[in-house]
Chain A
Amino acid sequence: MKRTGTLGAMRCMLVRDLTLAVRRLSDVLTTLFFFVIVVSLFPLGVGPDLDVLRSIAPGVVWVAALLASMLALGRLYSSDYNDGTLEQLLVAPQPLSLLVLAKVAAHWLISGAPLVVLAPLLGMLLGMPADALQTLCWSLLLGTPVMSLIGAVGAALTLGLRGGNVLVALLVLPLYIPVLIFGAGAVEAGMSGLGADAHLSLLGALLLLALCCAPWAAAAALRISME
């Protein structure tokens, strides 16, 4: 029997998760529509004044993206947990943390990347200027992977629990706060002419830190949840 190397296994994992997601496209679209609906609720709640909307737009889009990516976390392991794939991953010869990293990457491509693409459109609806939209894209591009990585730990800890979906919000949202601060802060700093570079650098630093630590912690959490 031919043994698959670690990189090969990671690629397999990524392709498999992406294929599964493409076959069940409605799941992906649900998250996106949630994102759109949450953002469009704000003008209805706050009022149609574009000046007000423009000033709260970075925060609104970021909070909506944060909620949407949290909502998608339930799908990260649940089907693999139900059909026993996850147990096979645990006994696989490849390091679990790297397999988890591949799963998170697939999850981000499915649920995080579409948010980045859709965000400028929503920002435009809220009256954001063009260069702020660009900053918004960059900040989401750096921030949504961090949220997927942190969320992978929370989702692994709450695997198969009663009310796991609500619990994961309670565990993960406080840990998302730095990402939210620097993400929305980048756009706001850009809009007020301060320059977004400092915030974006900090987001990049958070991404690197999460890339190093989160897959490892998520793998440990999976082992705890599956024993």
Chain B
Amino acid sequence: MSVLRRITRSTVAALAVPAVLLALWWVLTADSESYYLPPLSQILSTFDDVWLSDRLAADVLPSLLRLLGGFLVAVLLGVGLGVLIGSLRRLRAFCEPVLEFLRAIPPPVLVPVLMLFAGIGDTMKVLVIVSGCLWPILLNTVEGVRAVDEVLVETCRCYGVRGRARLWHLVIRSASPQIVTGMRQGLSVGIILMVISEMFAASNGLGFTIIQFQRTFAVTEMWTGILLLGVLGFLLALLMRLFERRVLNWYFGLRQAQRGGSR
């Protein structure tokens, strides 16, 4: 009973502010005459026309696939390199300045460069996404791997836990809170880059479509695209949250136990 109430309460809390904002938008634009700021009611009624037809498969899906591809490559690269750099102190001393430099480059400026090497196809767009997602994942993984508990390291040595078992059960699992934090940050960067990469030399995708609407003065349609991006971002964040709850269940429990002073 109390669980149900808690879920209801948190759902209400999560939806309250968006509902208020949407209501404000609705009311304030209700009798808007402006060509650039159509009423929300009009945007919503155009929404399914614009998106729920063939654009879902033609534009939304390719965008999401590129995002997924880029994100997964970034996770693999970031965790792989991060574990390596985090475990080897010498390597870390060499890499850290370079990493700081590379991280400081805004990925959108890489688009023209990547175009030269990877052309204007999907590879370029995926690479742009990777170039942005990678850094938070990589740097957080390095931090997480560096912070592996000394006592656990010795425990593994004593009980002969080495090689792949050590990598998974000790290093990656104990860095997983930081890795997931990096993934969460990486995902939000990835969504931005997904859109940006499609604004250059693209023939489909969400970013492409929105720019297309803007250039053809289809303002209402453009607004529906922005709304859709917001909803997608929200849903992806929600998925990330579910993943986090599942993978880091132990971590939240441990933290709660430590705060509760049971130790």
Q: Do A and B bind each other?
A: no
Question: Contact residues of A with B, CB < 8 Å?
Answer: none
Question: Contact residues of B with A, CB < 8 Å?
Answer: none
